[in-house]
Amino acid sequence: MNLPIHREGYPFIALFVGVNLLAFLIADWLGLLLLPLTIWCIAFFRDPERNAPARPGLIISPADGKLLPIVEAAPPPELGLGDAPRTRLSIFMNVFNVHVNRNPVSGTVTGLAYRPGRFFNASFDKASIHNERMAIRVRPAGATDDLVVVQIAGLVARRIVCELREGQPVQRGARFGMIRFGSRLDVYLPAGARVVAAPGMKTVAGETILAEMAP
């Protein structure tokens, strides 16, 4: 079976496989006991190809997971967008989801801001405020208002990977990073965007449509 793996996973997979092989050398039962963890580690770093919808004006999911309740909230202050509330869509990724993150729109990165913080359960609303995060500001192609994507560390997540840089053009559906292990992504919509997704639905990074830009 051809299972694409994100490059961030190779050191962890090598460690899990090595420990598992050593366990088998000690005792078969011990190796079998650890085998599910090794399989989980490989699956966690899987990086399947995705087909982004081509229709203009769409905002797609940056992550696999479950869409949490949709709220109105101010974007992270470190991005300098003011404290006016925006529609926020939050996606919770459990440890079994694909954790590779993808750009929700095509456009240009206009700001990046990392902030250290706590590690509350990412499904809690307070995680958006208190947890460690990487906030990304993107100007969608042809738009006059920015969209915000925030990678948020979770209860067991301890590393946020973001490969973007300010001024970089991005393509809808393209990979831009990941979070280890279990986490959350918030998307703050630009003014006038219309939500088409529903809370509780399962999202697929790079494919599920969350909202539509204003004409």
Range of the domain at 25: 7-44
pLDDT given for residue 131 in this prediction: 81
Question: Are both 162 and 139 inside the same structural domain?
Answer: yes
Residues 148, 172 within the same domain = yes
**pLDDT for position 95:** 82
Q: Calculate the CA 38 to chain-centre distance.
A: 23
Q: Is residue 142 part of a domain?
A: yes
Lowest-pLDDT range of 62-66, 77-81, 88-92, 117-121: 117-121
Number of domains in the chain: 2
Residue 28 lies in a domain: yes
- 180 closest CA partner among 113, 115, 122, 109: 122
Task: Dump pLDDT digits (tens) for 132-183.
Answer: 889 999 999 888 889 999 998 876 656 788 999 999 999 999 999 988 766 8
pTM, full prediction: 0.86
Q: Return the active site residues.
A: 183
**CA-based nearest residue to 163, from 146, 148, 151:** 151
Measured CA to CA, the distance from residue 94 to residue 14 in angstroms comes to 22
Residues 137 and 73 in one domain: yes
**Are 85 and 36 found together in one domain?**
no
Q: Are residues 115 and 31 in the same domain?
A: no
Q: Please say if the pLDDT value at position 102 is more than 80.
A: yes
Together in a domain, 193 and 154: yes
Neighbour-count burial of 109, counting CB atoms closer than 10 A to its CB (0-12 exposed, 13-18 middle, 19+ buried): buried
Separation CA 75–CA 130 (nearest Å): 13
Q: Domain check: are 84 and 20 in the same one?
A: no
Q: Is the pLDDT of residue 61 over 60?
A: yes
Domain CATH number, residue 173? 2.70.70
